[in-house]
Amino acid sequence: MNGLLKLSIAMALTLYAGVAAADKPDTLTIGITGFLSGPASVFGEPAKAASEILLDDLNREGGVGGVPVTAIWVDEGAGGEHVLSEYRRLVQDVGVDAMFASISSGNCKKVAPLAEDLQVLNIMWDCGTQKIFEENSYRYVFRTQANATPEMLSTLLYLLKTKPEFESIAVVNQDYAWGRDSWHIFSTALKQLKPGVRVVAELFPKFGAPDFSTEISRLLALRPDVILSTSWGGDLDNFVRQSVQRGLTERSTFVLPLMESSLQRIGLDMPEGVIVGGRGDHYFLHPEFRHDPEFQAFIERYKAETGEYPIYPVFHIAQALSALKGAYEKAIAANDGAWPGKEQVVDAMEGLEFRGLGRTVYIREDHQGVEDQMIGVTRRDPAYDFAVMDHMMIFPGSAITTPAGMDSTAWLETLSDSILDLPVQTYRHAE
Amino acid sequence: MDPILLVLATLDGIAYAALVFLVAVGLTLIFGVMRILNVAHGAFYAIGGYAAASLVLSISDADFSPWLSFPALLVAAMGVGAALGLVIERFLLRHIYAKEEVLQLLVTFAAFMILEDVQRLVWGVQPYSATDPVRLLGTVDVMGIPYNAYQIILLPVIAVMVLLGLRWFLRRTLSGKVITAVTEDRETAIAMGIDARKVFTVTFVIGAVLAALGGALASPTTAIQLGLGAEMIVLSFAVVATAGLGQVEGAALAALLIGLGRSFAVYLVPELDVLVPYMIMVLVLLFRPQGLFAVAEKRRI
């Protein structure tokens, strides 16, 4: 009898273990949404090219826990409805193990509740809206990079540290959610940290506007000390080129938090002394890693295959992949080496630390990633046919990210001058 | 409003209107003669821009004189306009002249979308920019504000030349008069022995070259990127509708009206910048549903 009891307990335990540990699959499939058409494909295409290189490297080293990883891309350029239906199809019919969605903040907002419904791990790999985890809480949704608040706050801190004497500012942002929200964050923090700065013009030209001549004439007449633009892609290229042609960059200090992604296209038209950023510590000459052999090998391979140096979405996709690998490995370890179930992988995401191609990022309890931010100023280096970054400051993500459970606007309104004393590392460009 | 700003806003408006006019006039010419609203016009604009930017970039890569970039803009526009215009007229439009207007609109819209994908295949997704022509002409100071000579002198001069050239061509030359005849009354013109087919081909190619020229002339001032064609076709349609479909001189005035409206909006109420062209269009159409300059349509039997 005793023996029988022992046997049944042993059987029950085996059964239980069988439930917790899933069968090891032949491949791990992820679905990735990104813009492969339309203006934002300047971000989607580099990320896609990078994902192929990174997955190739990953699979050559044995994949994730011995399982090779494949990716299926969905074009966000085909519209939000298309993204949602493809998302559903990939999860329900193809049976992907995780989704990476998306570049557009609008798509992230739509996809997050869907991921909860479908109970699939969703990594928001590039979108920037800070509202996702401030307005809702999710079990299956995580963000493996910072959000708009630390991105804007670090830009403002850099400006206040390097040009503390400015008295007036103008903004020229794209007329859609990102352009409006980023200015709201920046101006809220500005009012708090340097009250009395005059906002002389708030211009929101249409998304995709090809011509900024009128805006530039007006800014030339207004002569603001600082001009901020969080635009990106062709819009940013146009605004910068047209401003340079008309001499506006000589009259005002330009602050362009997404410029890292346009530097190579603008080439030598880019003047020196412009404050630039790349949505995190994303830079192909990252001062802390540029001599790291793994980092160098990736940059060289990416350059050889695409003809360009990588820009920030490349770093973002690297972070998402690294987080996925980290979560599986953490879950496997927690599962005594057995292949984990989907829920166990989701559990492993919280508190995860991982490294893509920049500094280490960690996932907070509200699923927001905490990532350091690098801002610098443009300068010329004869070794490159475009402007590079100098006087780079890396701001610690933990100090400039809205605390979990707080609303960004409310938090920014509590900021005090002490944040300007934040210890930051400063790096010079090494020729 | 400060008188200085008044002058600045006017200059900005004129420069903007010049480019819009070049595209809109081709659209209105094609509609006037063929009664087809050619959505693919936006794609001609974009491809003209891409081709011009590529040509100018290859000139500077090959270390030729940068001044060659000016004729290059023209060559790119003519090449693209003539090639695309001929192919699309001959193999697509010719089959649908007798069909319903809705179908014609859908077919040119389909052509527009196919051509968007062609742009993606040929030029990829990165914006193209070739700024040599703007740099060569330098800036002129107007009351302490530097303006690009390219934008406030060259573009308006070209727009006026195109306008006068078209007027002269349509009124003083035989081919032009034939085109005008088909515009005024297609049936009678055909009955008089005019080869309407040939007129259609010639008109469509001229219209396509004008669209491509607009794109080519825009390329030094703006990055040519995906989605640019859609932006332009909507705006030039607003110009054409405001002027009255088929009105060449009207298109010039409407472009000026919309260009000035937009630039004054940026100075006075920047929130309305995007809306202004369409507000002008709606206002005009409320009072003159045929457009500002349309003559009352003759009854057709």
A38-73 tens-digit pLDDT: 789 899 999 999 999 999 999 999 999 999 999 999
Domain with CATH 3.40.50.2300 in chain A: 12-146+291-367, 149-278+372-427
Flag whether pLDDT at B18 surpasses 90. Answer: yes
Q: Are B124 and B136 in contact (CB under 8 A)?
A: no
**How many separate domains does chain B show?**
1
**Which chain A residues are closer than 8 Å to B4 by Cβ?**
221
Q: What is the pLDDT of residue A1?
A: 46
B137-172 tens-digit pLDDT: 999 999 889 999 999 999 999 999 999 999 999 999
Binned at pLDDT 50, 70 and 90, residue A19 comes out as: very low
Q: What is the pLDDT of residue B186?
A: 85
Share of chain A above pLDDT 70, in %: 95
CB pairs A-B closer than 8 Å: 106
Q: How far apart are CA A251 and CA A218, in angstroms?
A: 13
Q: What is the pLDDT of residue A7?
A: 53
Contact flag B225-A39 (C-beta cutoff 8 Å)? yes
- Taking CA atoms, what residue in A is nearest to B273? A205
Return the half-sphere exposure (C-beta side, CA atoms, 13 A cut-off) of residue A371: 32
Flag whether pLDDT at A431 surpasses 50. Answer: yes
Give the Å distances, CA to CA, from B135 to A34, A247, A286.
Answer: 36, 12, 33
- The alpha carbon of residue A249 is apart from the nearest alpha carbon of chain B, in Å, by 12
- Is B16 a domain residue? no
- Is B102 a domain residue? yes
- Whether residue B219 lies within 8 A of chain A, CB to CB, comes out as no
Q: What is the mean pLDDT of residues B71-97?
A: 94
- The alpha carbon of residue B294 is apart from the nearest alpha carbon of chain A, in Å, by 30
A275-288 tens-digit pLDDT: 999 999 999 999 99
**Which chain A residues are closer than 8 Å to B125 by Cβ?**
36-37, 41-42, 44-45
Flag whether pLDDT at A9 surpasses 80. Answer: no
- Is B261 a domain residue? no
Share of chain A above pLDDT 90, in %: 90
B170-210 tens-digit pLDDT: 999 999 999 989 888 888 999 999 998 899 999 999 999 99
**Which chain A residues are closer than 8 Å to B146 by Cβ?**
220, 246-247
Cα of first residue to Cα of last residue in chain A, in angstroms, is 80
Interface test with A, best of B56, B118, B226, B234 (most A CBs within 10 A): B226
Q: Regarding the domain with residue range A12-146+291-367, which homologous superfamily does it belong to in the CATH classification?
A: Response regulator (3.40.50.2300)
Binned at pLDDT 50, 70 and 90, residue A144 comes out as: very high
Query: Closest to B12 (Cβ–Cβ): which among A45, A201, A214?
Result: A214
Three-state secondary structure readout of chain A? CHHHHHHHHHHHHHHHHHHHECCCCCCEEEEEEECCCCCCHHHHHHHHHHHHHHHHHHHHCCCECCECEEEEEEEHHHCHHHHHHHHHHHHHHHCCCEEECCCCHHHHHHHHHHHHHHCCEEEECCCCCCHHHHHCCCCCEEECCCCHHHHHHHHHHHHHHHCCCCCEEEEECCCCHHHHHHHHHHHHHHHHHCCCCEEEEEECCCCCCCCCHHHHHHHHHHCCCEEECCCCHHHHHHHHHHHHHCCHHHHCEEEECCHHHCHHHHHHHCCCCCEEECCCCCCCCCCCCCCCHHHHHHHHHHHHHHCCCCCHHHHHHHHHHHHHHHHHHHHHHHCCCCCECHHHHHHHHCCCEEECCCCEEEECCCCCEECCEEEEEEECCCCCCCCEEEEEEEECHHHHCCCCCCCHHHHHCCCCHHHHHCCCEEECCCC
Q: What is the mean pLDDT of residues A255-259?
A: 97
- The pTM assigned to this predicted structure is 0.88
Provide the mean pLDDT of chain B. Answer: 91
Chain centroid offset of residue A323 CA:
13
Flag whether pLDDT at B127 surpasses 50. Answer: yes
- The alpha carbon of residue A258 is apart from the nearest alpha carbon of chain B, in Å, by 16
- Is B273 a domain residue? no
Query: Closest to A213 (Cβ–Cβ): which among B12, B120, B124?
Result: B12
A168-190 tens-digit pLDDT: 999 999 999 899 999 999 999 99
- Between residues 228 and 287 of chain B, which touch chain A (CB distance below 8 Å)? 228, 231, 262-263, 266-267, 270-271, 273-274
Contact flag B231-A208 (C-beta cutoff 8 Å)? yes
Q: Are A294 and A26 in contact (CB under 8 A)?
A: no
Q: What is the mean pLDDT of residues B75-86?
A: 96
A333-363 tens-digit pLDDT: 999 999 999 999 999 999 999 999 999 999 9
Binned at pLDDT 50, 70 and 90, residue A430 comes out as: confident
- The alpha carbon of residue A421 is apart from the nearest alpha carbon of chain B, in Å, by 37
Q: Looking at A87-96, A128-137, A422-431, B286-295, which range is the least confident one?
A: B286-295
Q: What is the pLDDT of residue B81?
A: 96
- Between residues 125 and 184 of chain B, which touch chain A (CB distance below 8 Å)? 125-127, 129, 131, 134-135, 139, 145-148, 151
Contact flag A37-B145 (C-beta cutoff 8 Å)? no
Q: What is the pLDDT of residue B297?
A: 56
- Is B140 a domain residue? yes
**Which chain B residues are closer than 8 Å to A234 by Cβ?**
127, 223, 225
Pairing of strands A168-172, A198-203: parallel
Contact flag B127-A206 (C-beta cutoff 8 Å)? no
Binned at pLDDT 50, 70 and 90, residue B246 comes out as: confident
Asked if the A149-278+372-427 domain carries CATH number 3.40.50.2300, the reply is yes
**Which chain A residues are closer than 8 Å to B231 by Cβ?**
208, 210
**Which chain B residues are closer than 8 Å to A215 by Cβ?**
266
Binned at pLDDT 50, 70 and 90, residue B98 comes out as: confident
Flag whether pLDDT at B300 surpasses 70. Answer: no
Q: What is the pLDDT of residue B247?
A: 85
Contact flag A214-B9 (C-beta cutoff 8 Å)? yes
Residue B154 domain boundaries:
23-225
